Amino acid sequence: MGKRVLVCGGAGYIGSHVTRLLIERGYYPVVIDNLTTGHRAAVPISCPYYQLDLRCQELLSTLLKQEKISTVFHFAAYSLVSESVRNPYKYYANNVQGTLSLLEAMRQSGIQSLIFSSSAAVYGNPGMLPIPEDHPTHPINPYGESKLLVERILRDYHTAYGFRSVALRYFNACGAWSDGEIGEDHRPETHLIPLILKRGVLAGETLPIFGHDYPTHDGTPVRDYIHISDLAEAHILALHYLEHHHVATHFNLGNERGYSVLQVVQASQHVTGHQIKYEFVDRRQGDPAELIAQSATALLHLGWKPEKSTLEEMIASAWEWHRKHPEGFRA
Ligand code: UFG
């Protein structure tokens, strides 16, 4: 039997895709999720699953021992930037306190290896593009701050207790599993591509575009979109990496290419064949103007190279899921 790993937040968007890839590659993932934002239906029925919050440290510790876990993948976090600005307590309590509880449960169970979901949000408004991993980190919202705090805690746990960890700083994850059977389903949905496809295309509603006076080529924010299957692949590579490297480190995961909100709208029209109505509204709090990754370090150390690099193929993949499941997991 393959290696036994714990996937915290395995019912969420990124966690559920990594869980599927782990199974495909012969691993034995055990999923925990508190289902505040995840979906039970996103976890394969064959996969051991526990509804559990990270802050239940004793239960977690027992589970880690019982299931003979060797490595932990940690996706369990709140991830809405503007909500984090309005309600920082929620973000620090879940994202930071929850992680500390997990780390202590791991310590009690003698597990020392973790792959952590970090974010481009740690960089804030970057001083240079593309952003290298050693770029200064100045988050501009509590969500980014919570991810950076966990990265620091992981480095301290490495120094003090010999914990090994890889923090993966995702840029903008998008797309769906190749068969279109699982995909993005946040409630409320705030992410651009699902909103364009669900509201703009399927419901024929007008899409609000948050700001048109950013210092970018067309005035709308630029992001580096990265397909979920490429992100998932990086987690498998990080797992291999940790088997041979006693480190606490971090890598960017992006395509090294930026697209503006208007470019995403145009590409979505092209992929779906539907006209999308939009209107410019005020900027959204906590949004940086431009985020583009430098991902050479992930290539050098993990051997990771994204395969789905065009915006059209990423949108087509998301479209497959939304078209087949207009109600998401609720159906
Ligand atoms: N946008 C709109 N209209 C919408 C929704 C989004 O104009 O209805 C714009 C946003 O203002 C932003 C861009 O589309 O400029 C992308 O927004 P998303 O919400 O899809 O993604 P973000 O860039 O805000 O968020 C992503 C990740 C976060 C991460 C953040 C880093 O989802 O987890 O990047 O800043 F923290």
Q: What is the pLDDT of residues 56-91, one digit of tens each?
A: 999 999 999 999 999 999 999 999 988 999 999 999
Average pLDDT over residues 31-44: 97
Mean pLDDT for the stretch of residues 209-231 = 97
- pLDDT score recorded for residue 286: 77
Most informative mutation of 81, 123, 146, 228 for ligand 1 (most atoms within 8 A of CB): 81
With a 6 Å cutoff on the Cβ, whether 81 touches ligand 1 is: yes
- The Cβ-side half-sphere exposure at 59, using a 13 Å CA radius, reads 9
Closest CA to 96 of 141, 55, 56, 149: 149
pLDDT at residue 309, rounded to an integer? 81
pLDDT for 1: 57
Q: What is the pLDDT of residue 331?
A: 67
Q: What is the pLDDT of residues 92-111, one digit of tens each?
A: 999 999 999 999 999 999 99
* Average of per-residue pLDDT across 214-230: 97
Ligand 1 atom nearest 81 alpha carbon:
36
Q: Which residues are catalytic?
A: 143
If you average pLDDT over residues 37-46, what whole number do you get? 96
Q: Which atom of ligand 1 is nearest to the CA of 174?
A: 20
Atom of ligand 1 nearest to the CA of 143: 36
> What local confidence, expressed as pLDDT, does residue 51 receive?
98
User: How many whole angstroms from 221 Cα to the centroid of ligand 1?
Assistant: 9
Q: What's the CA gap between 164 and 238, in Å, rounded?
A: 11
Question: Residues 157-184, buried b or exposed e (16+ Cβ, 10 A)?
Answer: bbeeeebbbbbbbbbbbbbbbeebebbb
Average pLDDT over residues 224-247: 98
pTM of the model: 0.97
Q: Is 148 in the pocket of ligand 1 (CB under 6 A)?
A: no
Residues of the chain with pLDDT > 70: what percent?
A: 99
